[in-house]
Amino acid sequence: MRFRPRATPGYADRAHAGRALARHLEGVQLSGPVVFGLARGGVPVAAEVARGLGAPLRVCVARKIGAPGQPELALGAVTAHGPAGYDDRLVRSFGLGDAELAELTERERNEARQREARYTRGPAPELGGRDVVLVDDGLATGATARAAIGMLREHAPRRVVLAVPVGSPDSVRALELVADVVVCVLQPVDFAAVGQWYGEFGATTDAEIDGILDELGGAAEQD
């Protein structure tokens, strides 16, 4: 299902993008939503969405599985739990055997587990029968979002809503086959990279995430 909000200009920073995204999500009927920010860059965006929805905030960690010698090229992605997803065409092009691919995958899964433990605040909310809103700062290849959606579905939510401020039109269309609802505010035909649609797009630090979670992590769930 596609939700097409009215297009707006780019964003000053991730907080600005999150506030714009929260306004567009007002058009989606959500049942007991829980907001998950994709670490790291999606967390500041998700914080504003959680504030706007009055929903609890959690962090979802998905790690890109980089190609040998080209770590920025995603062969797929993996979460702390759940199955990994691969781009079979790319995997074949690198001639990777099962053992080598498994080694690359397990390395990233271990990193995801460590980060997930760091970002956890309090008991995990029950997701069964509720809407999960997965938020990132943008959608380029969609590899990490796809892996995160797979993991979240294992908790039997009512729906998985993928929400991003900007994304590649091709990736948005592909993720519409994976998520129940995709909300993408900007889908520029000249999309090249997420950062080009932000005035400020510095790396999100663990300290920044800690501050956000200390303020918001699980707070709305306890009210």
Tell me: pLDDT of 5 over 50. Answer: no
My answer on whether 181 and 200 are in the same domain is yes
How many domains in the chain?
2
Is residue 10 scored above 50 in pLDDT? yes
The CATH number of whichever domain residue 157 belongs to comes to 3.40.50.2020
Q: What does the alpha-carbon distance between residue 154 and residue 87 come to, in Å, rounded to a whole number?
A: 21
**Pick from 117, 132, 159: which residue ends a domain?**
117
Tens-place pLDDT, residues 59-78: 999 999 998 888 888 899 99
Same domain? 21 vs 99: no
Torsion of CA 114, 115, 117, 121, to 10 degrees: 170
Confidence of residue 122 (pLDDT cuts 50, 70, 90): confident
Name the 3-class secondary structure at 217: strand
Residues 112 and 133 in one domain: no
pLDDT above 70: residue 221? no
Residues 136 and 108 in one domain: no
pLDDT tens, 165-188?
999 999 999 999 999 999 999 999
Same domain? 206 vs 147: yes
Sheet holding 70-79, edge to edge: 62-67, 70-79, 85-86
> Per DSSP, what are the bridge partners of residue 70?
67
What pTM value is reported for the model? 0.89
47 with 71, same domain?
A: no
- Assess whether 218 and 147 both reside in one domain: yes
Containing structural domain, residue 21: 2-61+121-222
Same domain, yes or no: 82 and 148:
no
Whether residue 91 is found in the same domain as residue 193: no
The answer on 69 and 52 residing in a single domain is: no
Looking up tokens 């509720």 gives 130
- 37 and 139 housed in the same domain: yes
Based on the fold, state whether residues 134 and 28 are members of the same structural domain.
yes
Interval 36-46: pLDDT, tens: 999 999 999 99
What's the average model confidence in pLDDT over 121-126?
85
